[in-house]
Amino acid sequence: MTTVSAPTRSRRFSKKKEDDDSGVHARRWFTPYLLIAPGTLWLLIFFIIPLFSLGRLSLKSGGFSNYSTVISDNSTVIVRTFVYASIATLAAIIIGYPLAYVIATKGGRFKNMLLALVVLPFFVTYLVRTLSWKILLFDGGPVVNILHGLGVLNENQGILGSPFAVVAALTYNFLPFMVLPIYVSLEKMDRRLLEAAADLYSSPARAFRRVTLPLSLPGLFAGTLLTFIPAAGDFVNSELLGSERTVMIGNIIEKNFGKEFFRPELSALSFMLMAIILVGVIIYARLLGTEELA
């Protein structure tokens, strides 16, 4: 601050500049608002207004009964959606945490290369990536053949169309979103803290539990949100790899939106999905206690 105010003060002595000075001051005061204006405007026009109109639409012609109707009509799908998203998120943690840990702590000079490999699938379109799983999993395809050979699956059983295929693909598609934030939080952790823990009689397991894990919670939290939210709203995986048995909320919204554009029940369903996720996130944040850590 002193470096900024020093020239201002010296300029104040020359009368000619005085008006400019106050102008600069006023503009300076305005600058932050100027900078956030485009973003605010963008969000207002393309997010807040549609959201508001969607909310109004969801209450049209039936009021709040639209919500109870939509919930009772789709209860199985709603439960299924959150079960799938939860399993996919959990699987992503189980696969992603060790991966992030190894890259962050043992990656050495290969760190960036390994990270690039994690992100590499993003270079292929989401749609094509998911479609390619169809080739992988179709009846008579390599994966099914191997599982038949091993006796894991009966001769008349396939994978395509099963909940397993949908959840596995959800996990695969959102895994990088889990790995990257966990990697970041582990990477910035001071490695000497583990030496300190060992010095203070902690076994490696206890040091992980009491030091590494708590310090990586912000990353784990971010990764969970980045995986769970899109997974809960996804329809592509179920559409391409699932069947009637695996319909998710996203599929219902997507299918019906095309046909009946302004149906209040659909708006209610969308709003409900959003509300459940929001409440879930708040509970999750409370449980992890990451608010003060982040």
Positions in the binding site for another protein (CB under 8 A): 190, 192-193, 195-203, 206, 210-211, 214-215, 293
Residue whose CB is less far from another protein, 124 or 293: 293
Residue whose CB is less far from another protein, 12 or 210: 210
Neighbours of 71 (CB within 10 A): 13
CB of 206 to another protein, least distance (A): 6
Determine whether 72 is exposed, middle or buried from the number of CB atoms within 10 Å of its CB (0-12, 13-18, 19+): exposed
Contacts of 181 (CB under 8 A, 6+ apart): 218, 219, 220, 222, 223, 226
Residue whose CB is less far from another protein, 199 or 244: 199
CB of 17 to another protein, least distance (A): 41
Torsion of CA 259, 265, 267, 269, to 10 degrees: -110
**Tokens encoding 171:** 């996990």
CA atoms within 13 A on the CB side of 88: 33
The CA distance from 182 to 189, in Å, is 11
Residue whose CB is less far from another protein, 186 or 236: 186
In DSSP notation, 93-150 reads HHHHHHHHHHHHHH-GGGHHHHHHHHHGGGGS-HHHHHHHHHHHHSTTSHHHHHHHHH
The CA distance from 3 to 8, in Å, is 9
Q: Which residues of 159-175 are buried (b: 16+ CB within 10 A; e: fewer)?
A: bbbbbebbbbbbbbbbb
CB of 218 to another protein, least distance (A): 10
CB of 102 to another protein, least distance (A): 21
The CA distance from 25 to 75, in Å, is 58
The CA distance from 281 to 294, in Å, is 15
CB of 246 to another protein, least distance (A): 40
CB of 220 to another protein, least distance (A): 13
Residue whose CB is less far from another protein, 155 or 292: 292
CB of 267 to another protein, least distance (A): 43
CB of 184 to another protein, least distance (A): 16
Is residue 196 classed as helix, strand or coil in its secondary structure?
helix
Residue whose CB is less far from another protein, 216 or 246: 216
Residue whose CB is less far from another protein, 201 or 261: 201
Residue whose CB is less far from another protein, 166 or 211: 211
Neighbours of 56 (CB within 10 A): 11
